[in-house]
Amino acid sequence: MDFKAYLENENLSDKTITNHLRNIEKSIHFFGHDFPSQYSDEDLVNDIKHNELNLSQSLTLSNTLSKYYKYLELPNDHLVNYIAFINNELKKKYINRNKELVYPYTKKDLISQMNNFYENDKWKKYIISYLLINLNVRNEDLNIEVVRHKKFISKTKNVLIIRRSDILYIRYNYKTKDRYGTKENQIKSKKFYISVLNFFQQRQYDDRCPADLFYKFYNSTNQIKKHTPYQLKESDIIKIILNESSVSLHKASKISIRRGTDLKTLESNYNINKK
């Protein structure tokens, strides 16, 4: 089995596989023709450290080399440890950058734009914006099907169930599901109810069939932000909400429960006003 087949067996995307193969070609040029026979994983880490690569480039190359050495059944512990180190350094930079960011929008601005979606019959945009702003969900949580009755759900996606007077939002699949389990939210907002109902009726004429919020969901930032206020990313929206001066630690704890995120994670990544 060649390296390409090995990567395919790991169920990686075509793009990821192409990038790994390209990185191996670059590695031969980078390390020379003695690669990999004369290079231990420790040698590789030392060479990466001493070349002019930024953290992201070092991470990309190290990930590929770690997989390649695993494929060759060669030791890769030094690469694995170096990858963990880089990820930690990138996280520190990310946290510091987040805390220094100043956004031109407030939560009030986001809600105003969300209501503008409603007034202009942009039901899908209203649904997505409402869930991001009020339930503080992640991109993955928006892989949703809309149904008229619980018996029609597939459980392969998250779901919005249209009931007599409210919407039941069930998350079967989200980032921290293994830790927090399935989440359910009863949503009584009239505007949200009307938006979901109208979206369903536009998409699906058979009440027994689900209507997917996205025809094909990629869990992509670019896919989601086309439908958000000011085309903001999900991460930007949660930052704006958490950085509001009115957000106390008590309110942040409620956000952590809705989102399925440990409160300490929110504290370490965002400026929370501890009232």
Say which residue the tokens 């953290």 belong to. 55
Write the CATH number for 57: 1.10.150
77 plus 158 within the same structural domain: no
Contacts 24+ apart (CB under 8 A), 35-43: 36/68, 36/69, 36/72, 36/74, 40/75, 40/78, 41/65, 41/66, 41/69, 41/74, 41/75, 41/76, 41/77, 41/78, 41/79, 42/78
Specify the pLDDT at position 224.
95
87 plus 44 within the same structural domain: yes
Of the candidates 100, 117, 141, which is a domain's last residue? 100
Q: Classify residue 269: in a domain, yes or no.
A: no
What's this model's pTM, rounded to 2 decimal places? 0.65
Q: Classify residue 128: in a domain, yes or no.
A: yes
111 plus 170 within the same structural domain: yes
Burial class (CB in 10 A: 0-12, 13-18, 19+), 224: buried
Range of the domain at 196: 107-229
Say which residue the tokens 């979901």 belong to. 196
Specify the pLDDT at position 274.
46
Residues ≥6 apart with Cβ < 8 Å to 70: 76
152 plus 225 within the same structural domain: yes
Write the CATH number for 150: 3.90.15
Q: Which residues in the chain show pLDDT less than 70?
A: 94-95, 97-101, 205, 245-250, 263-275
At 42-52, the pLDDT tens digits run 999 998 888 87
Specify the pLDDT at position 275.
44
Q: Classify residue 43: in a domain, yes or no.
A: yes
CA distance 275 to 272: 9
52 plus 136 within the same structural domain: no
Residue 6 Cα distances to 2, 61, 139, 226, 243, angstroms:
6, 18, 30, 36, 45
How many domains are there within the chain? Answer: 2
68 plus 133 within the same structural domain: no
Q: Classify residue 238: in a domain, yes or no.
A: no
118 plus 220 within the same structural domain: yes
